[in-house]
Amino acid sequence: MRFVFILFVSVPCHPPSALWTSTQTSTGRSRICWCSTFFCHCCSWFCRCCMISRTSFCLSVNHYCCFVEFDRTFLRFHSDQVVRISPESPHQVQMVQNLLQTLKQVDLWQPSSVALIQHGSSVDVHVGRSSTQQLKTHLHQEDIYYTVLISDLQAEVEKQTQSGSSRGRRSEVQYDYDVYHSLDEIQSWMMMMNRTHTQLVEMFSVGTSYEGRPLYVLQVGGMRRRPSKPAVWMDCGVHAREWIGPAFCQWFVKEALNSYHYDPVMRRLMNQFNFFIMPVFNVDGYHYSWTTDRFWRKTRSRSPKFHCRGADANRNWKVRWCEDGASPHPCDETYCGSGPESEPEVRAVAAFLRRHRKRVKAYISIHAYAQMILYPYSYKATPIPKLSCVDSAARRAAMAIYSAYGVRYRYGPASSTLYVSSGSSMDWAYKNGISYAFAFELRDTGYFGFLLPESLIRPTCTETTRAVRAIASSLLKKCR
């Protein structure tokens, strides 16, 4: 169901000179207008109505052409549910796959593709209210166990969007790290960090997104910012709906800067390494998840042959591109893109990492959800060389997480710990000489899923900061 904002705008009657024209509204903003087939009775010509979301019509009020505009729509999820399904046999797996491919209004949360469903592993799926009963009936008929994780999705969404007053604060002292922030707020915060911590922070852009937004990165490091200084790369927000990722990247920067002068461990790490931190990798998708669809995952690029938009930014890298675990179809959530690095965001970051491959000693990509620390390979089950070194770092990271609040994270090769996927950034980083390459899947294990409450931002970020410190500390030790 869509929640629609209706805006009334009036302009004097005057015939436009062409099919497409620019009409100035009463607010003074020029807009591109579209020739409607609705007749405007205040004039003797067809009204040209402003086209915002492909739906407009006009009517006559006091001898003015009035545009009734269906302005930017935000998807609503009243009575939608998130259901966890537990197939226990190959037959039940096949039934669940067929059912999810048949039903309308179905959004798979875990795993990311129907093809990755396995018996013995749970399946989390967001189901629209019109399909909920049908899904439950079929599962009951096939004797497949399920449980409802979220009974009203909209109620949970609103819990993340009702603390706007604290989000709007701009000063560093008042900036609230315990709430989720929009893209504009995050980028303003990055500029503030760059402006107020000139000795430790440097902000730059690695390129622009499909929709023309800058791809900002913060370089955070101690006083010795020599060109050859080793570095750790960390990105968040690859998948737009995983809001806890950008929240963590901001938290880590704040903790690093605040603790530099009194914490000897953090000071040593920042003096030994530069941290390249990209709070929002998928800027277009993240912005879209705030303005239109809370559960948008992909980028926002256009496909010339399909109406579906975007590619999976973690299936678009030039390593076993579009093989197992990725889809060639633009409408799928795991769409690999039209080619390796077809997405401007992926291409820009890959180019930066190639230029600095001799400096970057660790690559960390933050995702959600599953509570896992993953390392290569994603695309095959073969162990990586020097497995013990990477596995030891992952184990230390998991122990560091546990030391904070007793939360357990699994760790291991992505292909066996989570699922097989090709074209991932982690595998690409490893193949390009970054031996310590990891992907984190943060809290939780499905009770909240992509809607991790703001009350859990602090504990999640606190424990994850300890994990990143543990991995960075592992780089200082020689491993044979």
Residues designated as active site: 441
How far is CA 169 from each of CA 5, 153, 278, 323, 452, rounded to the nearest angstrom? 26, 28, 21, 45, 22
Alpha carbons 191 and 207: distance in angstroms, whole number: 16
Please tell me whether residue 474 adopts helix, strand or coil conformation. helix
Distance (Å, whole) CA 62 – CA 243: 47
Region of residue 332 (left: phi > 0; alpha: psi -120 to 50; beta: else): beta
The strand pair at 21-24 and 30-39 is best described as antiparallel
Tell me the one-letter amino acid at 286: Y
Contact 452, 444 (CB under 8 A): yes
Listed in sequence order, the DSSP H helices in 125-281 are: 129-141, 153-159, 164-167, 183-196, 244-259, 264-272
CA–CA distance, 310 with 386 (Å, rounded to integer):
36
Give the alpha-carbon dihedral of 326, 328, 334, 336, to 10 degrees.
Answer: 80
Query: For the chain, how are helix, strand and coil distributed in percent, rounded to 5?
Result: 30, 25, 45
Single-letter residue type at 170: R
Residue (of 125, 127, 111) closest to 77 by Cα position:
127
How many other CB atoms are found less than 10 A from the CB of residue 153? 25
Starting at the edge strand found earlier in the chain, the sheet holding 274-278 runs 201-208, 214-221, 274-278, 231-236, 360-368, 436-442, 372-375, 410-413
Residue 425 to residue 440: CA distance in whole angstroms: 12
Q: Phi and psi at residue 250, in whole multiples of 5°?
A: -65, -45
Q: Do β-strands 410-413 and 372-375 pair in parallel, antiparallel, or remain unpaired?
A: parallel
Helices 129-141 + 90-102 axis angle, to 10: 160
CB-CB contact of 286 with 240 (8 Å): yes
